[in-house]
Every structure is written in structure tokens, then in C-alpha cells.
Amino acid sequence: MRYVLLLAEVDPSAWDRATEGGRQGVLAAHRAFDEAVAQRGKILGGEALDRTDTATTLRTVDGVTTVTDGPFAETAEQVGGFYVVDLPDLDAAIETARLLPPRYTVEIRPVVPVEPY
Amino acid sequence: MPRLDEVWRDQWGRLLALLVAQFRRLDLAEDALAEAFEAAARSWGEEPPANPPAWLLTAARRRAVDRLRAEAVAARKQPLLVVDARTQQEAERHMADTGEPLLDQRLRLVLMCAHPSLAPESAAALSLRLVLGVPTEDIARLFLVQPATMAARLTRARKKLALAGVPFALPDEATLAERVEVVARVGYLAFTAGYAPTSGPDLLRVDAADDAVRLVRVLHEVLPRGALLDSLLALVLLQHSRRDARVGPDGGLVLLPDQDRSRWRQDEIAEALALLTPLVSSADPATPYLLEALIAAEHAVAPTAEATAWPRIADLYAELEDLTGSPVVRLNRAVAVAEAHGAPAGLAVLEGVDLPGNHRLPAVRAELLARAGRPQEARAAFDEALALSGNDVERRFLSARRAALGNA
């Protein structure tokens, strides 16, 4: 099954303030995740997102589309990156996601197969 | 020959697990098995088959296959559960009527129903439905919701299992240990639901709680043996052993000290004590289930209310409070301390406890104030408790206690 793992964190600027050792730890956790996924499936994609103050949101209400500054959800946690993985089941997704840096809250969403159009 | 309802009780979960493994669809497996039982009720009559589970499995499989054939192509695109090929083939090949015992895949079913990705209440409801085959109306009654609400909740949970890819599988040992805790929580939640005070006239839904006890028994049976499930089963057995004595002839609540102890189920108490005995001397750290079970056991072994070992119970509550930090536990500790060392000592424990909206805190405070010879404050606390309680039986009880203080 394909899953998208959305990585959110409460304090996105922590990376900017992190020490070299702290950054190495985060990268090591990502590598451990990569390797664990590779053993049971594969990583189909993934990106780190720039900070939410660079986000632009389109929203259509009653047929009128407005473009606004900022992310679509103003919550305590902000999505900072994602992975797209192909793994056998949710348990595998949970087990591998545990290896990601503990600063993230990870939301696991199954991907809906959409027929080509 | 076992009666059909006994076969249902004993075999539903085993049969359903095999059908789920084979067909990878919960709705299909449940409907086919229910129809097989209906057919059995019509055709067995005086002469049931030699091997009832085998008959049911064959009948259910035939119905599932028929239904798959009849389904439109679109309906056949339903999301399938994740079942590894070997498990599926094993279930498919398994023929119960060759005389071999029914292949038991209930552990997979239990772990799937009590998956941490489901809300605990949904997991508890789904476990009762799939593992035990409890009718949806009965589960609704246990959780105090309308049958339609419960049916919708079960449907959502079934869908989530398939869409999110929750596997019908056994995790590795480390993960299994974690999952056992989740399963235990789900079992306990089902049990406490049966004892939750209702806002209606029915104080205790004994038959609904029976189902939950049965669920805990099955969890205990299919999960790897361990202190956690032993403690949990002991706890529910001890609490449930008092069911007949909890409600008086007038339907009113009978509190522990006033219960007729000859109506406690001694066989269940003995079973629980046997489970607890090896755990008491264990070096492993105590879990909340164990401490709660030991508290219940102290009550169970006291020949009379007066002979209760309250100092020991107060110590156990203190340990439980350290472990959980729960204000409800502190409230219970206050009661035990009052029994062991007098009402003023109990009132001292209550100081600083805050349980907004909970009627039990003012009710206990009222009781202790009354005993400490402070009737005026007791009356005010009873009024506070009465304003917060939504349960008819409890309100009657509180009013009677308040009236006993007189009107001075």
C-alpha cells in the first residue's frame, strides 16, 4: 500500500537554532527511516517544505477563489515535510515512522488509487 | 450435543477469523457466518450435524462465494484487508470436517480489532462484534448509544481497517508486547462501560457487562500469557462477582459494606485469587490493573464489611496514586484512609482534589463530613452532589443520606 507520511513539528525554527550535533542526529534518524523502509518496501518520494510563512493558499468559497498568504491550517503544529512510501501495511508504516526524528508528529495517510485520466 | 447458542458463543470468533483470512472482507465474512447460523437454526432441528463448527464453516464459505459471484463488478472493488498469502492459503485449505481441530486465528482478529489506529471505544465495540459475535443492539446498550449510532460506528471502524491497511497478522515479539497493552485497555474499557452509571433507571446492565467479561476471557486465552492479562482478568472477575449483590430488591444501589456477601460468586472470586497469587510475589513492577485487582481482592476475602483490611487497601491506593496521578484514585484513597484512620484523616486526603462536574467528590466529602460530626457542611456537600448526579438511583440514595442528617 502507498502511504503519505506528513511530518509536522511544533517549532519549525528549531532546525535553524540546532547545533551541528543536533542536526546530525536528525539526519541520522532520516537515514535510519530510509533504510528501514527500503527493507520492506520503498520510498517513492518526499520533500522538506520551506517554512509556513512562504506558503500561499487558494481557497474557493461560493465560486470565488481567493489567494491568501499563509498555510491552510493555522495550528500549533505545522507540516514541514512529507514522504511517499510503499509498504505492505499500516503496521510497517508505523514501525518505520517511529524511526523518524522525535520532534515530528507524523500523520500517516493511505493514498487513494486514482485511475489515470 | 451443544446447543446452537453455545456453538455461537464458543465458535463465532474462530470461524469468523478463518473467513476473514480467506475472503479478506469483514462485511462479507460477518454476513456469511450470520447466515450460516440462521440456516443452522432452521435445519438442525433434532439432529444437529456431527461436527457443528465444520458444518457452519462450510455453509458460511458457500454463502460468501455465492455472494461474491452475485456482486456487481463495482461492488467487488471493495478494499480488501491486508492478509499475507500464507495465512490466507492456510485458512482456505483448512477443512474442519476432516476431524482436525478448528484452526485458531483469533489472535490476529483480536489484534486487528484492538489496533491502536482505532479510537478505543470503536476498538472495544468492534472486538465485541467480531471476536464474540455480540449483536449490534447489545453493544449499543453497553455503550449507552442508539443502535443506529453504534451500527454507524462499527461500519466506520470496519472501513478504516481496510482502507488504512491494518493487517490481519501477528507482529514481531517487541511490537506484540506493546500491542498487548492496547488490547488490555480495550478489554477494560468494554468492561467499565458495563458499569458506567446510566442516566436512566437501569443502574447496572448485567448481561451487557457479561459480554465484556467474556471478551476479557477470550483476550486472556488468545494473547500470550502474562501478568498484564492475568491481572486484568482477575480484576474484572472480582468486580463482576458482586453483580447480584449490587442492586437491591427495589432496584436501588447497594454499597459494598451493605451487600449480602453470600450473593457474591465464590467460584469467580476463587478463580481471580488463583490468578493473583503468583503475581503478588513477582519482582516485576505492579501495573494499575494489578493494584486495582489486589484492592478488589481485599474486599472479596473480607468475611464481613467490618473485617475489611482498610489499612492495606489505603496503602494499595497510595501505590496506585503514585502510578497514575489520578484524582479519582485519590478520592478512593480518601475513603480507604477514612475507614482505616477515621473521617478527619480521610477529609485531609481530599484537600486540594479537584474533579469538576463529578458528583462523587462532593458525595464522598458529604459522607465524611457527616461522620466527622459536621452536619451543616455535610448538607451543603450533599446538595452539591445532588446537583451533579444524573443517575436516578444514585440521586435517591444521596437524598436519603441527606435526609438522615435531619434539618437542623
Sign of the torsion angle spanned by Cα atoms B148, B150, B154, B157: positive
Separate counts of helices (H) and strands (E) for chain B: 21, 0
Contact between B189 and B118 (Cβ < 8 Å) = no
Q: What integer pLDDT is reported at residue B306 of this predicted model?
A: 94
Q: What integer pLDDT is reported at residue B112 of this predicted model?
A: 97
Helix or strand holding residue B150 (H, E): helix B147-164
Gap between the Cα atoms of B299 and B190, Å rounded? 23
Contact between B64 and B19 (Cβ < 8 Å) = yes
In angstroms, what CA-CA distances link B57 with A105, A106, B54, B64, B326? 44, 41, 5, 10, 47
What average pLDDT does the segment B356-381 reach? 93
- For residues B221 and B356, the model is more confident at B221
Q: What integer pLDDT is reported at residue A51 of this predicted model?
A: 86
Q: Does A93 lie at the interface with B, CB-CB under 8 angstroms? A: yes
- Residue A36, pLDDT > 60, answer yes
Find the residue in A nearest to B176 (Cα): A91
- For residues B219 and A76, the model is more confident at B219
- The residue type of A109 is R
The partner residue sitting opposite B164, judged by closest CB among A88, A95, A110, is A110
What average pLDDT does the segment B54-83 reach? 89
Contact between B256 and B305 (Cβ < 8 Å) = yes
Predicted confidence band of residue B246 (pLDDT cuts 50, 70, 90): confident
Predicted confidence band of residue B407 (pLDDT cuts 50, 70, 90): low
Q: What integer pLDDT is reported at residue B158 of this predicted model?
A: 96
Gap between the Cα atoms of B15 and B180, Å rounded? 22
- The residue type of B59 is A
- Residue B54, pLDDT > 90, answer yes
Q: Does A50 lie at the interface with B, CB-CB under 8 angstroms? A: no
Q: Does A91 lie at the interface with B, CB-CB under 8 angstroms? A: yes
Q: What integer pLDDT is reported at residue B39 of this predicted model?
A: 95
- For residues B209 and B26, the model is more confident at B26
- For residues B64 and B101, the model is more confident at B64
Find the residue in B nearest to A109 (Cα): B164
Distance from CA of B115 to the nearest CA of A (A): 9
Gap between the Cα atoms of B229 and B405, Å rounded? 44
Residues of B in contact with A108 (CB under 8 A): 164
Size of interface A-B (CB pairs under 8 A): 31
Task: Provide residues of B within 8 Å CB-CB of chain A.
Answer: 82, 115-117, 163-167, 169, 171, 175
Cβ contact, residue pair A90, B175, below 8 Å: no
- Residue B408, pLDDT > 60, answer no
- Residue B40, pLDDT > 80, answer yes
Distance from CA of A41 to the nearest CA of B (A): 14
Q: Does A95 lie at the interface with B, CB-CB under 8 angstroms? A: yes
User: Could you give the ipTM of this predicted complex?
Assistant: 0.85
Predicted confidence band of residue B38 (pLDDT cuts 50, 70, 90): very high
What average pLDDT does the segment B321-336 reach? 95
Residues of B in contact with A95 (CB under 8 A): 175
Helix or strand holding residue A69 (H, E): strand A64-69
Residues of B in contact with A110 (CB under 8 A): 163-165
Cβ contact, residue pair A3, B165, below 8 Å: yes
Distance from CA of A2 to the nearest CA of B (A): 9
The partner residue sitting opposite B163, judged by closest CB among A94, A95, A110, is A110
Gap between the Cα atoms of B31 and B44, Å rounded? 19
pLDDT tens figures, B160-203 = 999 999 999 999 998 999 999 999 999 999 998 887 766 555 66
Predicted confidence band of residue B1 (pLDDT cuts 50, 70, 90): low
- Residue B328, pLDDT > 70, answer yes
Instruction: Using alpha carbons, select from B274, B264, B215 the residue that is nearest to residue B240.
Output: B264
Gap between the Cα atoms of B92 and B58, Å rounded? 11
Cβ contact, residue pair A110, B175, below 8 Å: no
Gap between the Cα atoms of B13 and B15, Å rounded? 6
Distance from CA of B82 to the nearest CA of A (A): 7
pLDDT tens figures, A70-96 = 888 778 888 999 999 999 999 999 999
Which cell is B12 given?
463465532
